Amino acid sequence: MSNVDTATAFAAALSAHDLDKLASLLTDDFSATGLAPVPMTKQMFLDGQRAWYAGCPDWTVTPGALSEQGDVVTGQVTVTATQTGALSLPGAPSLPASGKRISSNDTATLTVRGGQVAKLEIVSGSPSLIEQLQA
């Protein structure tokens, strides 16, 4: 599997809400930045996704323009969702269902090691999903 294939499988697992597949695609020392005020560990990331899926059952990730340079895959990512349930992200106050349709267009950089994602860096290209929900 190429690194782009790994990135595509990662996005597909996110869109399918398949936490088992997602966990299998992450290294044990996985880290994510740009999604929360602090870097996220593998467990924090999975817990966060579980919360997003509960609050936004139609959560979808669409990758585009993926490019591979060694172990690094970069691409544009569009996330779309509708908050139809309470959103209870770990360490944050719960947000009641709002019915709001939200989307973000971001740049994602994944570092792949041994066919798994070791690092995810997100650079937001639009107001964050939380900012949109709180507006």
Structural domains in the chain, sorted by start = 3-134 (3.10.450.50)
pTM beyond 0.85: yes
Q: Mean pLDDT, to the nearest integer, of 85-107? A: 93
When pLDDT is cut at 50, 70 and 90, the band that residue 69 belongs to is: very high
Alpha-carbon dihedral angle through residues 33, 34, 35, 36, given to the nearest 10 degrees: 80
Beta bridge partners of residue 77, listed in sequence order: 63, 106
- Residue 45's closest CA among 119, 111, 114? 119
